[in-house]
Amino acid sequence: MKTSLFELRGALPKRSKIQIGLVGLLAILLLWWLAVQLRIFNPNIIPSPLAIIACIPELIIRDHMFRHLGLTIFMNAASWIEGAVIALPVGFVIGLFPVFNALFGGYVQATRYIPLTATIVLFMAAFGIYMFMKVQFLTFAILVYLITAVVFRIQETPQVFVDAVKTLGANRWQTIKTVFVPYVTSRVFSDFINIVAISWTYAVYVELINKQEGGIGALIYNLYFRQHEAEKLYALILIMVGVGYCFDLILRMVDRKVFPFKYS
């Protein structure tokens, strides 16, 4: 059965979706190139796609892009793991037990409105200016969203699931183990994927601290603000987007493998 291209919330075949997506990409690149050629865009501020592609070999060889990218990936991955390890038990305790929810729930939810970039000086004062501080900052950026997500997912767990296991004689721990843990973790993993994208964007900011340590953020600063190589700035931004999207695909694949019942 064919699907209309303009059907509301319709689903296209995978092959058609890829083909249309490639057409869209080519259209964007062509319009971008034309805008630079016609001087609609200043090439010193927005270089052409060809100039961006041409600078990549120099980024790799002269500017050691892969070393900086490796540092950025390591820093983010460490914060993702630390954030998940802290957020899950804390979120479960606050979400499951009313006394802890009353004590801390409101304050935890309020942390989402903290201007995170303004707290960097506090982390520098507490942890210094090296990699450990950067990981702790990114971990905090994850925690302010992930703990709240865990609490919310616990609250939205259908009561019928809880009642069903209680009629089978399950005690409190068995109810947590058989109902809340699988349901909440499966839903929170989707939240975690989105939060990872948020922390990825903070990585460049935090790497501006102690730039000698490296990372994509430090490389962007050195190439653009010191050397004014705009094409390399855009190349690094696009590479960061590409790597982040690859992490997104990997995490979604893990989600389907670990929690297949969500998609059945």
249: CB partners within 8 A, 6+ apart? none
Mean pLDDT of 49-61: 91
Q: What is the pLDDT of residue 1?
A: 43
Q: What is the pLDDT of residue 184?
A: 94
Q: What is the pTM of this model?
A: 0.85
Does 69 score more than 50 pLDDT? yes
Q: What is the pLDDT of residue 39?
A: 86
Does 167 score more than 50 pLDDT? yes
Q: What is the pLDDT of residue 4?
A: 73
Q: What is the pLDDT of residue 198?
A: 85
Give whole-number Cα distances, 150 to 76, 86, 183, in Å. Answer: 21, 11, 11
> Mapped to the 3 state alphabet, what secondary structure does 53-71 carry?
HHCHHHHHHCCCHHHHHHH
Q: Are 228 and 235 in contact (CB under 8 A)?
A: no
Residue that wins the pLDDT comparison between 16 and 258: 258
Q: Is 35 left (phi over 0), alpha (psi -120 to 50) or beta?
A: alpha
> What b/e readout covers 232-247, taking b as 16+ CB neighbours within 10 angstroms?
bbbbbeeebeebbeeb
Mean pLDDT of 130-149: 94
Q: Give the CATH number of domain 54-262.
A: 1.10.3720.10
Mean pLDDT of 179-206: 91
Distance CA 71, CA 99 (A): 42
Mean pLDDT of 202-227: 85
254: CB partners within 8 A, 6+ apart? 189
Sign of CA dihedral 217, 225, 56, 237: positive
User: What percentage of the chain has pLDDT greater than the value 90?
Assistant: 56
> Domain residues of the chain, as ranges?
1-41, 54-262
Q: What is the pLDDT of residue 152?
A: 94
DSSP state of 215: -
Report residue 226's pLDDT band, with 50, 70 and 90 as the boundaries.
low
Average pLDDT taken over every residue of the chain: 89
Report residue 3's pLDDT band, with 50, 70 and 90 as the boundaries.
low
Q: Which two tokens stand for residue 152?
A: 């919310």
**Residue in the structure block whose two tokens are 């070393």:** 67
Does 206 score more than 50 pLDDT? yes
